[in-house]
A = this chain, B = another copy of it.
């Protein structure tokens, strides 16, 4: 915290190196066109003064902020957080910084947030936890700024690009595994239906149930938290248990397991349980949880790549997927598949 010693500017560097500030600019932007001797003199002056380019001036002149706005959900969910980290790392590598914005429950309108995003001057927007609450903010912004949404569902607003994990496939994998391990009746404790991923999982579940001719039921919706998994399961215990419960995510599965334990039911013998996400703790549930692993980090990188192509008007490399497949991770909360 120096006593307001103005940060050095290009002019300062130029003075020290005995060149004009334009040359300094060139060293930074197109190093190859300045003579090696001058260049190294300038670079030396830069390090001596600890000079860094003034981001604001640069942004003002170029009309590009090198900022990427990220719209996140306020709840500290596992998947979005992983994705966020991956995005930030990739963005930094590409010379962008990430502006974090959360849409909490309180400002559900989202309009204010949309205005905020617009005013932030971000070159592009990445929506990480896609649910209905984001829609007004996103549509407001999408008119003037490229937007990429991480979601299982194609958007209703044209011009918005989407990258997602195939939630339907995930649900299919789960149901198929349950069918193969002898389940006849399956209950899906659904996630909050204003989340696009939750909706896609439920729809995938319903399709897969029909496909395998099983006895399926959807209960809920829950809210991603263990509590709702717990409550829904208690209701099931009262009203009659299925062979298997497919929870909308690992958190809810946690509540499911807890309720079953309280009623001294055996897992998977009495009821099999499956989650979704493969959170850090899934393997260490009691018993360890069969679940669907999503490539969250890969997803983040892919979303960013897509956005950068939009920003820099590059073509997306051919063969770049917009949908990533999830992977079933079989553990001890479901019966083993027979291998013959």
Give the interface of A toward B (CB within 8 A). 1-2, 7, 50, 52-60, 65, 70, 72, 74-76, 78, 81-82, 84-85, 88-89, 92, 97-102, 104, 115-116, 118-121, 142-146, 159, 225-227, 229-230, 251, 254-255, 257-258, 261, 280-281, 283-286, 288
Contacts and interface: CB of A to CB of B under 8 A. Distances in A.
Given A1-B146, A258-B286, A121 B56 contact: yes
Contact of A52 (B52, B75, B119, B159): B119
B53 A56 contact: no
A89 B65 contact: no
Contacts of A286: 257-258, 261, 286
Contact of A88 (B102, B142, B283, B285): B102
Contacts of A1: 142-146, 159
A226 B284 contact: yes
28 contacts: A1-B144, A50-B118, A52-B118, A55-B59, A55-B119, A56-B58, A56-B60, A56-B65, A70-B100, A76-B84, A76-B280, A85-B102, A85-B104, A88-B101, A89-B102, A92-B101, A97-B99, A97-B116, A98-B99, A98-B100, A99-B99, A226-B280, A226-B283, A226-B284, A227-B283, A229-B284, A254-B281, A255-B284
Contacts of A144: 1-2, 7
A120 to B, nearest CB: 6
Contact of A55 (B57, B65, B257): B65
Q: Chain copies in the assembly?
A: 2
Contacts of A115: 52
A251 B283 CA distance: 11
A258 B280 contact: no
A21 to B, nearest CB: 16
Contacts of A143: 1-2
A111 to B, nearest CB: 13
Contact of A281 (B99, B142, B281): B281
A261 to B, nearest CB: 5
A75 B58 CA distance: 32
Given A1-B142, A57-B60, A100-B98, A76 B78 contact: yes
A258 B284 CA distance: 6
Given A88-B100, A89-B102, A54 B281 contact: no
